[in-house]
Amino acid sequence: MINEATKRMLELDQLLEMAADFTVSPAGRRLVERHGPSRDASRVQAWLEETEEAARLLALGASVPLSAMEGIDLIVSLLGKGKVYAEQELHQLGVWLASVAQMKRYMESKREVAPRIASYADSMDDCPELRKELARCLRGNQLTDESSAELGRIRRQLYALEAKIEKKIEQAMGKYKSALQESIVSKRRGHYVIAVKRELRKQVPGTVWDESASGQTLFVEPVDVAGLQQEWDSWKADEEQECYMIRAQLSAMAEARTTELTWNVDGMGTFDFITARGKLSRTYNGQRPKWSAEPVIKLQGARHPLLPNEQCVPLDVEMGYEWKQLIITGPNTGGKTVALKTAGLLVLLHQAGFLIPAEATSELGLFHCLMADLGDGQNIEQSLSTFSAHMTNVAAMVKAADSRTLLLLDELAAGTDPGEGIALSIAVLEHLLSQEALVAATTHFNEIKRYASQTAGCMNASMTFDPQTLRPLHRLVIGEAGESRAFAVARRFGLPEAIVARAEAMVSNAPQSNERITMVDADSGVARKAIPGNQAKKQARPGQKRNDEEAPTKPKAFQSGDCVWIYPLKRTGIVYQEADERGNVIVQVEQKKLTFNRKRLAPYIDRSKLYPGSDYDMAIVFDSKSDRKKRHLMSRKYVKDVRIENPPDAGE
């Protein structure tokens, strides 16, 4: 199953439009417009062989004789309906049959270079008797005098009468010279006329057939010519009747070959379609990858066919051999989404019978289902938020997933609360891995990177980044996780330095906590890798367990002055009093002292990052302004009835 949304998302429709523009016939264009990826291995391999042969012929400089296809579809579609074709249509039919004969000769001469598509010409029939008769009877869009003996006789009479009429007209021009506006002979409504001045009209006897725009000139057929003109009109009617009979005979001959002519249209349309695929493949230097019976992807030197070569960094990616899932990380604008689109589009092109812009050493298997979730997918008409749209797509993916499914997921865990989004994403990835589906996904979250590094059958990959120029290199490296480089990207796109520096300070002061998602293997059914990191591992059977669990580390005790995250309040506070024997910690929040169990707190910023020196007077932080004044006064002398009270043990 490859739905229309995925084809649009991966821009296959644009490639098919480009292929359609290479066709020269309506039949060929229709074939392109109805074309799409197939799940049938034998059909895909046949398409690939056809396209490869067409590209080979084009590379040899060969010009496939397809130029005479214009208008033929309509002519052939009217066969069997008793239509008598006009001279122009019969001429088109004759030229096209000559093109069919030329195609048969051409394909026979190319049989060694393109044996498969050359064999298609064997079923075509150039109808030699009809073709020769059309060639004999027509010159351009006119029936020849040799079309029939009667037509020849009639036209000889017409030629003779035309000569007599011209002679009479010349005599009339001399006779009425003084009455003429100008000395020219023309035709009006099929009659030979001369231009006579209106005021001298009575000097020229004859019939007025027209006048000039100004009305000052009358176009008169002299009476001396009228008799000859009538005789000419009679013979002209005989000519038209004879021409109709000849056209009817030729049309009947064409109708008698309706089946063969229809086959020829289909055959030439197929050649047109195959040639268009070859032409498109040559625009991006397409190659035919190796065929794999297994659902695998190995792309070497792959490029997106819609991007200019100079803007493309070749993509090397593989899936389905040692790992089923590839988690791609790296900087924004670094090319993660383009990598997903390139891999997905090349799989679609391959299964649609096109050569792909990658090295011939690449290898692709056949996928029965390809689904993509790229972009925010927000749909106002259906009232779907970004996250809802993602979940709709992911639910469909989960339902369709099997070993011949390729799934592309952009920005896992985006559009919702990070903690819940990450948990959902990992659970989905675990399920898809158990179904043995191939998954390529992008993310910025460390928890998902850690999932990939710890799970058999998964692999991290990253888009490289140049720390010197602060620019992404758009090159995919498999085996290591990348960094988002948000600050470098923000600087590159002009965010004020003060804002970026402030953000960097906040991050550098924050603890590197990995507590957001805890990896729990008990119910996931997914094997974890034996060692952490991003080293490539042999794929484990989904469901297989590893015995070497990471030992849990004891959380660091909170100290007075630490900034902590308070889960119930969803905000930060400052530790006032360290945990007692029950694990309760007093935290100051906006001058209020509140008590929370340490399990409800998470490290946020260590006190050493907040205050200068280990002997910093924390009373400055915890005391109110009035208490600080009292403390200062009491440090100088004893003052009766002045005291500082400790806060009560506040509850949560």
Q: What's the pLDDT tens digit per position in 449-474? A: 999 999 999 999 988 866 666 566 77
Q: Where are the domains of the chain?
A: 4-127+257-283, 147-228, 295-509, 563-636
Higher pLDDT, 153 or 521: 153
Per-chain mean pLDDT for the chain = 84
The reported pLDDT for the residue numbered 563 is 86
pTM of the complete model beyond 0.75: no
Chain segment 246-263, per-residue pLDDT in tens: 999 999 999 999 999 999
Q: Does pLDDT of 357 surpass 70? A: yes
Find the helix packing angle between 26-33 and 258-283, rounded to 10°. 60
Give the DSSP per-residue string, 179-226: GEEEEEEEEETTEEEEEEEGGGGGGS-EEEEEE-TTSSEEEEEEHHHH
Residue 205 has pLDDT above 60, yes or no: yes
What pLDDT score was predicted for residue 153? 97
**pLDDT range class, residue 166, cuts 50, 70, 90:** confident
Separation CA 605–CA 508 (nearest Å): 9
Distance CA 587, CA 576 (A): 5
Comparing CA positions, the residue from 451, 376, 446 lying closest to residue 414 is 376
Full DSSP string of 437-488: -EEEEE---HHHHHHHHHBTTEEEEEEEEETTTTEEEEEEEETS-----HHH
- pLDDT value for 605: 81
**Tens digits of residue pLDDT in 83-139:** 999 999 999 999 999 999 999 999 999 999 999 999 999 999 999 999 999 999 999
Paired sense of beta strands 584-589 and 142-143, if any: unpaired
pLDDT for 169 equals 86
Q: Which segments of 250-314 are extended strands (E)?
A: 290-291, 297-302
Instruction: Indicate if the pLDDT at residue 526 is higher than 70.
Output: no
What confidence category does residue 540 fall into, taking pLDDT thresholds of 50, 70 and 90? very low
Residue 413 banded pLDDT, cuts 50, 70, 90: confident
Which pLDDT belongs to residue 632? 59
Q: Can you tell me the mean pLDDT for 470-485?
A: 74
4-127+257-283 against 295-509: fold identical: no
Tell me the pLDDT band of 638, cut-offs 50, 70 and 90. Answer: low
385 pLDDT more than 80: no
Q: What are the b/e assignments for 550-582, b being 16+ CB within 10 Å?
A: eeeeeeeebebbbbbbbeeeeeebbbbbebeee
Which tokens hold the place of 35?
Answer: 């074309």
Output the pLDDT for position 284.
Answer: 95
What pLDDT was estimated at residue 552? Answer: 47
The rounded percent of the chain whose pLDDT value lies above 70 is 83
Q: Which of 296-310, 336-350, 382-396 has the lowest mean pLDDT?
A: 382-396
User: pLDDT class for 516, splitting at 50, 70, 90?
Assistant: very low
Q: How many residues does the chain have?
A: 652
pLDDT value for 472: 64
- Residue 328: closest CA among 467, 481, 445: 481
Residue 513 has pLDDT above 70, yes or no: no
d(CA 518, CA 479): 23
| Pair 521, 441: CB distance under 8 Å | no
Q: Which CATH number fits domain 4-127+257-283: 2.40.160.20, 3.40.50.300, 3.30.70.980, 1.10.1420.10?
A: 1.10.1420.10
Give the per-residue pLDDT at 531: 38
Q: What is the mean pLDDT of residues 147-154?
A: 96
Question: CA quadruple 115, 120, 126, 127: dihedral positive or negative?
Answer: positive
Tell me which of 2.30.110.10, 1.10.10.60, 3.40.50.300, 3.40.50.150 is the CATH number of domain 295-509. 3.40.50.300
Structure tokens at 549: 């669990």
pLDDT at 572: 84
pLDDT over 90 at 479, yes or no: no
Confidence of residue 508 (pLDDT cuts 50, 70, 90): low
Confidence of residue 300 (pLDDT cuts 50, 70, 90): very high
Q: Are 192 and 185 in contact (CB under 8 A)?
A: yes
Q: What is the pLDDT of residue 506?
A: 75
Distances (CA, A) of 320 to 302, 310, 366, 487: 17, 30, 12, 35
